[in-house]
Structure 1
Amino acid sequence: MIKKEWILQKALEQFNERGYSEVGVRELARMLEISPGNLSYHFSKKEDILIALLEQFSARNSSFYEHYLTLSPTNAHFLELMEKIFNSQYEYRGVYIGNQYVRTELQSQDRFDYQSIATKRASTFQKIFQGLDAAGQLRVNGEDIAFLVAHITLFGRFWISEATLFTKFPDKNKTIRHYLFLLAKQLSLFATEQGKKSIEEFSRGMS
């Protein structure tokens, strides 16, 4: 029996390898060795597959944020959270929201409320940075927190686009380490001595 999860997994592989706009439904059915009718039984059109993958991606990331909020607030834990998020973005890069074809697709329908998700994520980052300040990991005021939220939002939204600008298949671990290093350097500008030690602890584990 054809499983929806199997279809989604194979579709994501194709979107990652070739790009969302380059993969058609009939072609996907041939690759899966099923009839277009069998595929449409589960997903009536390609956009349905896209929405299902984005929901999967969003739920996965939400679990990472929820887990972080159960931990003691340290810069190392924050960078561990971002490492998980970056890995997730890499694995879903073919349907990631930074993809221009995906953005165009979403703008034409109301089935995935990215604006609400983005607002919720920004609120969560604000809470995270406030917590790091209260724990003595960062020294930040309201303006600093607003800057860090804007920075992490921009950074998180577009790093994968830059990473794949010249090659579709950058080395995953090397690429993620590079962007985590840049993020750690930015964070260190606001870190206390205790917070800098926490960043160094994370960096040692990453190398």
Structure 2
Amino acid sequence: MKTKEKILFKALELFNEKGYNTITTRHIAAEINISPGNLHYHFKHSEDIIKILFTELVVKMDALLNTVKKVEFKTLDDLYQFTFSTCEIFYSYRFIFVNFIDILKEIPEIKSQYESIHSSRKEEFQLIFSGFQKNNILKKDVPDFIMDSLVQQMFIIADNWLTHNRLILKLDQEDAVRHYSLLQMNLFYPFLNREQQQLYEQQYITANA
């Protein structure tokens, strides 16, 4: 592993464990046994590290969304796997969401990038949901304003569940991903066809009881 990769790997680990506001480039350098000068050769400021880690998060979500969009015959399990994988990715970069406001305030580039992503993601999710409607997983007669609300609700939960877990439930990674995946999936329940609701209860509610 190259020095730059080591820095990013250790920075992500430290930010996740101890928080964005408490870790400096000196801490990161000490953890991988290099001098601060060596670290600053690769990254002048900790903000530069944050930008790359945020981009990594975006790239992984882009790949996941593209995979889902390519599935022609979408199933309930595809919806669950998409939700579960999203939670796994977010957990891997959890410091971004726990320290979200501070990061957006201190790094304008990320704020602009997030606003742009928020807009494009809305269109992508609506396209994905229309695919589930086409395959009779979701009801076809859901009003547009309700679907718009569903997308917004997903964003709100996705951006904030990690903070909720840290403050309230304090679940470890495996339990947290499973719990919050199901919590987000429950948003879809009223919009599933009756057959899919029964399947959902059998596979995800009864099985996790």
**TM-score normalised over the length of structure 2:** 0.88
* Offset from partner CA, 1:150-176 (integer Å, 9 cap, x none): 111111111111111247x63111112
The alignment covers a number of residue pairs equal to 205
Question: Quick one: distance in 2 between partners of 1:126 and 1:83?
Answer: 18
Moved more, 178-187 or 30-39: 178-187
CA deviations over 1:101-149 (Å, ceiling 9, x no partner):
2222223x46861111111111111111222122211112212211111
Deviation of 1:199 after TM superposition, in Å, equals 2.8
CA-to-partner distance for each residue in 1:35-62, whole Å, 9 max, x for gaps?
Answer: 1110011111100000010011110111
Partner of 1:106: 107
What is the CA–CA distance in structure 2 between the aligned matches of 1:75 and 1:2, rounded to whole Å? Answer: 41
Closer, same or farther in 2 for the Cα pair 1:111/1:186, shift >3 Å?
Answer: closer
Residues 143-162 of structure 1 mapped to structure 2, 5 A cutoff: 143-162=145-164
Residue 34 of structure 2 is aligned to residue 34 of structure 1: yes
Could you tell me the TM-score, scaled by structure 1's length? 0.89
Query: Are the equivalent residues in 2 in contact too, given 1:74–1:195 (CA < 8 A)?
Result: no
**Are the counterparts in 2 of residues 15 and 94 from structure 1 also a CA contact under 8 Å?**
yes
Map 1:10-159 to 2 at 5 A.
Answer: 10-71=10-71, 72-96=73-97, 99-107=100-108, 109=109, 113-139=113-139, 140-159=142-161
> Structure 1 residues 202 and 66 mapped into 2: Cα distance closer, same or farther (>3 Å)?
farther
Where does structure 1 lack aligned partners over 5 or more consecutive residues? none
Inter-CA distance 125–30: structure 2 relative to 1 (3 Å threshold): same
Q: CA RMSD in A?
A: 2.3
Residue pair 1:25, 1:45 contacting (<8 A) in 2 also? yes
The structure showing larger relative contact order (alpha-carbon pairs under 8 Å, at least 6 residues apart) is: 1
Partners of 2:150 and 2:51 in 1: CA distance: 30
Identify unmatched segments of 5+ residues in structure 2.
none
